[in-house]
Amino acid sequence: MRPREDANAPLICFETLGCAKNEVDTRDMTGRLRDAGARITDDIDRCDVAIINTCSFIQSATEESIEAVLDALEGREGGRRVIVCGCMPARYGDDLAGSLPEADGFVPCSREDDIVQVVSSVTGWMPHPGGAHVEVPGASFAYLKISDGCDRWCSFCTIPQIRGRYHSFASADILAEARRLAESGTREIVLIGQDTGIWGKDLDEGHDLAWLVSHLTEELPSVRFRIMYTEPEGVTDGLLDAIADAPNACAYLDIPLQHVSPHILKAMRRTGSADRFRSLVEHVRERIPDITLRTTLMCGFPGETEEDFEELVAFVQEGLFQYVGVFAYSPEEGTRAASLPDQVPEDVREARARELRDEADSVSAALISARVGQSACVVVDGVEEDGQAYGRAECQAPEVDGVTYVDAGSPGDVISVKIEDTLLYDMEGTVS
């Protein structure tokens, strides 16, 4: 049984920036603190300890994280402590402590399991002994990390510096957390990691992602499962069969490509080409005809010519992916790409990204509008202030693919609707 909150314990507020993986880390730290008797609040203005879980994947994310830390530091008149967690301390180490001496503590990703001890050390609070139970939310969906770290060392990416070497989490731990999430009322579990497709390769269990998906969907038939962040090499026939065979596995894959020009991909320390990616998508759709596909593309990588960019635009216009995330390349300190010749000027990078986003929006809007008249199974996520309920169909991942507005339902309900209208990425449905 979880210990009761200690009335004398510090009141703690988390602010989480960046990707879903950081949200999982915050959830885990929150659980550890609650098990130790800490009190948790969403109101940063009245907390005793502000914990900023930062993102530092690209420069703009770092700048946003620094701004959040500085905002938290402004409220120190009442004695508030500020702890900086996550990617920034992992990436910048002691240099960050020297740049932000006002902060009370720095906790890199590798030390987040020690958050109770860190809070205790900066406040003098004596936590309850024991307690390592992970907090699980009573929400319609939840992210579940199946791995962390990365061994790819793409030339533009800081993740290996921040998260370390790739390591899969044990299947028993993943299954146990999935059960806890299901028991709390979670209706959709989203499997995430830096590279989900290679889950299990470093374990002695002899299992792969296809096995994991099959076991999760079979053991928890009332929960639907979604997979994110699967590199092209991880899209195996076994995985496709596992998705196709399980009625509660979303017919959905997120396959980050980054680019389609072979020489740009080689400079990125990746592989592939437009033709190879077309063949992959064709193969996927042969095995799962109704699958929804998402990808991520980058504009303005060093050496990208107008011809390379035009090839990227033409690829998007083919409509192979219903959803396309677009980013302008950011030269990051410590990455190989930052020192490559033929750096594309920032204004050109940003202009190309805007153009590609516009093309992607146009293509996606047409593909999504084709769903009008179809039936969809929607998990209701919430209700707006005016009473309008909204959720997500199987073709919509949380926080990135829009929502479906419905004419009835409460959070956590799973309802069948008929799609009546669409507006760019959002859809409207009536209960059928």
Instruction: Say how far apart CA 396 and CA 414 lie, in whole Å.
Output: 14
- Percentage of residues of the chain with pLDDT beyond 90: 78
Provide the token pair at 399.
């926080």
Nearest to 371 by CA among 409, 423, 293: 423
Q: Does residue 73 sit in helix, strand or coil?
A: helix
pLDDT digits (tens, 9 = 90+) for 337-348: 999 999 999 999
Q: What is the mean pLDDT of residues 249-277?
A: 97
Q: Is the dihedral of CA 215, 216, 221, 224 positive or negative?
A: negative
Q: What is the mean pLDDT of residues 203-208?
A: 94
For 143, half-sphere exposure in the C-beta direction (CA atoms, 13 angstrom radius) is 21
Residue 109 has pLDDT above 70, yes or no: yes
Q: How confident is the model at residue 6 (pLDDT cuts 50, 70, 90)?
A: low
C-alpha of 273 from chain center: 25
Q: What is the pLDDT of residue 134?
A: 42
Instruction: Say how far apart CA 103 and CA 400 lie, in whole Å.
Output: 32
Residue 137 has pLDDT above 80, yes or no: no
Q: What is the pLDDT of residue 432?
A: 82
Instruction: Identify which of 101-110, 136-145, 154-163, 271-280 has the greatest average pLDDT.
Output: 271-280
C-alpha of 380 from chain center: 20
Q: What is the pLDDT of residue 258?
A: 97
Nearest to 421 by CA among 431, 409, 430, 410: 430
Q: What is the pLDDT of residue 129?
A: 66
Mean pLDDT over each residue of the chain, to the nearest integer: 92
Contact yes or no for 173/207 (Cβ under 8 A):
no
pLDDT digits (tens, 9 = 90+) for 287-299: 999 999 999 999 9
Q: What is the mean pLDDT of residues 144-155?
A: 94
Q: How confident is the model at residue 429 (pLDDT cuts 50, 70, 90)?
A: very high
Provide the token pair at 2.
């979880």
pLDDT digits (tens, 9 = 90+) for 54-92: 998 888 889 999 999 999 998 676 688 999 999 999 999
Nearest to 233 by CA among 184, 188, 196: 196
pTM: 0.86
Q: What is the pLDDT of residue 2?
A: 47
